[in-house]
Amino acid sequence: MGEQTTTRFPQEIIDQWAGLGIDLPTLFSAGHLGERMGLTILEASPEKVVGTLPVEGNTQPYGLLHGGASAVLAETLGSVGAMLHGGPGRIAVGVDLNCTHHRGLRSGTVTGTATPLHRGRSTATYEIAVTDEQGRRVCSARLTCLLRDAPENAHG
C-alpha cells in the first residue's frame, strides 16, 4: 500500500497550472483518507480520471469491500475531474453522491473511471464506474460538484 505512483496529467493541464508553485499530484490526490486506504490516482484530466483501490484493508465485517470504500474512490475521482475542469481559479465541492453496489469482492484491486456527464460554469457531474480485475462492474456512482471561485491561497 505504500507504493508511490505518479499521476499522469495531459500536457495542457501541466501548462495550465505551471508557475503556480503547486504540486499537482498532491493537490489532485485522495488526501490523507485516500492515502490510508491505499487509493492511487493513475491518470487525471477533465475528460477522464482513473484510480485504483485495494480490497484488502477496505472491507466491512463480512470481509467484503466496504461500500464506503467504493464511495471514497468515486468521490475522489469525480472531484479531481471537476477540479481540473474548473481550473486554477475554481474549487470543486461535492454536493451529491449516489452509489449503487452491484457485487461484493473479498480480494484484489478495484479500478474506478470517472467521465463527465455535465461540465458547466457552476456545476460538474461525473459518472464513476468501479470495476474488478476482470472488468466486472462493482459499483456505479454519480457525483455532482459545485464549482466556486477559489479563495486566495486555496491551492496551497
What residues are annotated to the active site? 75
Nearest to 80 by CA among 11, 31, 129, 141: 31
Nine cell digits for residue 125: 457531474
Q: Which three cell numbers stand for residue 13?
A: 493541464
> Of 76, 77, 83, which is closest to residue 150 (Cα–Cα)?
83
For the chain, the first-to-last Cα distance in angstroms comes to: 26
Distance of alpha carbon 97 from the chain centroid: 12
Question: How far, rounded to the nearest angstrom, does the alpha carbon of residue 92 sit from its chain's CA centroid?
Answer: 12
